Amino acid sequence: MIDYTQIPSPCFVLDEKRLRENLTLIRSVKEHAQVEIILAFKAFAMWSVFPVIREYIRYSTASSVAEAQLAFEEMGNQAHTYAPVYSDREFPSILRYSSHVTFNSLSQFEHFYPQTQQAEHPVSCGLRINPEYSSVSTDLYNPCSPGSRLGVTAGQLEDSLPAGIDGLHFHTLCESQAEDLEQTLAAVEAKFGHLFNRIQWLNMGGGHLMTRKGYDVEQLIHILKTFQAKYPHLQLILEPGSAFAWETGELVSTVLDVVDNHGIKTAMLDVSFACHMPDCLEMPYKPKILGAGEPVPGKPVYRMGGNSCLSGDYVGDWSFDKPLQPGDRIVFMDMMHYTMVKTTYFNGVTHPSIGIWRPDNRFQLVREFGYEDYKNRLS
């Protein structure tokens, strides 16, 4: 259990013990299902714990030159790279840092394929497909919405694949259950199954939230083994991000002030939803707070207010056992995935530090941020 009194504020703090528990489960799925499971940096890229992650899994997926270089330098391997579009300027670096490169369109593949053949090491080329089916209900995270810019539809392929395509890649899930994968696989197989004998690998993307409580891990293994038995020549790849860091750490903050407007009390914090927890506003979703809950009659109720000047930089409401005062700690739960990777320096507000709670009950401060970090993002 993290002793939050030892954590500076504001600070993202990761619990190594909980991370290892997630990694143990993920490795177990990988071994039992005989598939490759790799880490998606777009959800979790805290490279100070890559030495821990490498004890359990070897590879990662990237969506940009920067992520691919991070994989090469800090994970110690070339990345499985997919980006919605590549530029001529960056593609040589993409090749340098990647073992697999997946293209979003046939035109991008045709444009860059000759370069992949001239790379200094073998590069396996893939094509992202759009099965036009997804169980994701939030449009912001649904890549199969009508008119989506992501992936090639079956109608665009005309029952054939260009020479040089080694694999297919689909990504239609978001924090989903095993049965969602099963339904998606049925849609993929129905539209693209006739092409499976022409490829070597099938990447099932991310969104497999196998570390969430209640997720049917055995069903996932069964789905993967059943599919593998049907297509034994295919290497199956999963690239979850959230599953690695799910419920492994928190964002520690402090109440700086309490303001009252027509009976609505807002706790003003030293963190920002817009800058440090943008998914709370984009999704939107209401995070859990340690020691707080849904509004209850008779208990003190507060909104949480961020420290940027954006009028919408708040989320609420929560009940607390006693009135909040300046100096009280507010601990936002489950803030390791899709948080640090999305933070911004809007307003130049103080950026939370990053730390690790080690298994020997010791806090390690990994990084603090200051004026130079803000200034160096500008010109």
User: Mind listing the pLDDT tens digit for each residue in 33-48?
Assistant: 999 999 999 999 999 9
How, if at all, do strands 235-238 and 201-203 pair?
parallel
pLDDT band at 77 (very low <50, low <70, confident <90, very high): very high
pLDDT for 230 beyond 90: yes
Residue 71's alpha-carbon distances to 90, 103, 122, 152, 206, in angstroms, are: 16, 19, 17, 27, 17
Q: Where does the pLDDT of residue 1 fall: very low under 50, low under 70, confident under 90, or very high at 90 and above?
A: confident
Q: Comparing 199-203, 238-242, 279-283, 365-369, which segment has the lowest mean pLDDT?
A: 279-283
307: its two tokens: 């420290």
Task: Cite the beta strand spans of the chain per DSSP E.
Answer: 11-15, 36-37, 39-40, 60-62, 79-82, 98-103, 124-128, 165-169, 201-203, 235-238, 249-261, 264-269, 301-305, 314-319, 329-332, 353-358, 362-367
Question: Residue 90 in contact with residue 67, Cβ under 8 Å?
Answer: no
Integer CA distances (angstroms), 275 to 48, 251, 333, 341, 348, in order: 22, 13, 17, 11, 9
Give the Cα separation of 339 and 275 in Å (integer).
Answer: 9
Check pLDDT > 90 for residue 158: no
Is 134 a residue whose pLDDT tops 90?
no
Nearest to 160 by CA among 114, 197, 113: 197
18 and 247 Cβ atoms separated by less than 8 Å: yes
Report helix angle 217-230 to 178-192, nearest 10: 20
Amino acid 15: pLDDT: 98
Q: What's the confidence (pLDDT) of residue 176?
A: 93
pTM for this one? 0.95
CA distance linking residue 185 with residue 376, whole number of Å:
45
User: How would residue 225 be classed by pLDDT, with cut points 50, 70 and 90?
Assistant: very high
DSSP state of 83: -
Q: What pLDDT band is residue 360 in, cutting at 50, 70 and 90? A: very high
- Tell me: the pLDDT tens digits for 336-354? 999 999 999 999 999 999 9
Q: How far apart (Å, rounded) are the C-alpha atoms in residues 265 and 305?
A: 10
Would you say residue 54 has pLDDT above 90?
Answer: yes
Q: What is the torsion angle, in degrees rounded to the nearest 10, for the CA atoms of residue 66, residue 142, residue 37 and residue 47?
A: 30
Model confidence at 355: pLDDT above 90: yes
- Checking if the pLDDT of 209 tops 90, the result is yes
pLDDT reading at 224 higher than 90: yes
Mean pLDDT, the chain, as a whole number? 96
Of 220, 218, 117, which Cα lies nearest the Cα of 166? 117
pLDDT at residue 252, as a whole number: 98
Q: Is pLDDT at 362 greater than 90 in this prediction?
A: yes
pLDDT band at 136 (very low <50, low <70, confident <90, very high): confident
Q: Does the pLDDT value for residue 140 go beyond 90?
A: no
* pLDDT at 87 exceeding the cut of 90: yes
pLDDT grade for 159, boundaries at 50, 70 and 90: confident
pLDDT band at 290; cut points 50, 70, 90: very high
Tokens matching residue 173: 């899930």
The per-residue pLDDT for 312 is: 96
Task: Evaluate if residue 141 carries a pLDDT over 90.
Answer: no
Q: Where residue 10 falls among pLDDT bands split at 50, 70, 90? A: very high
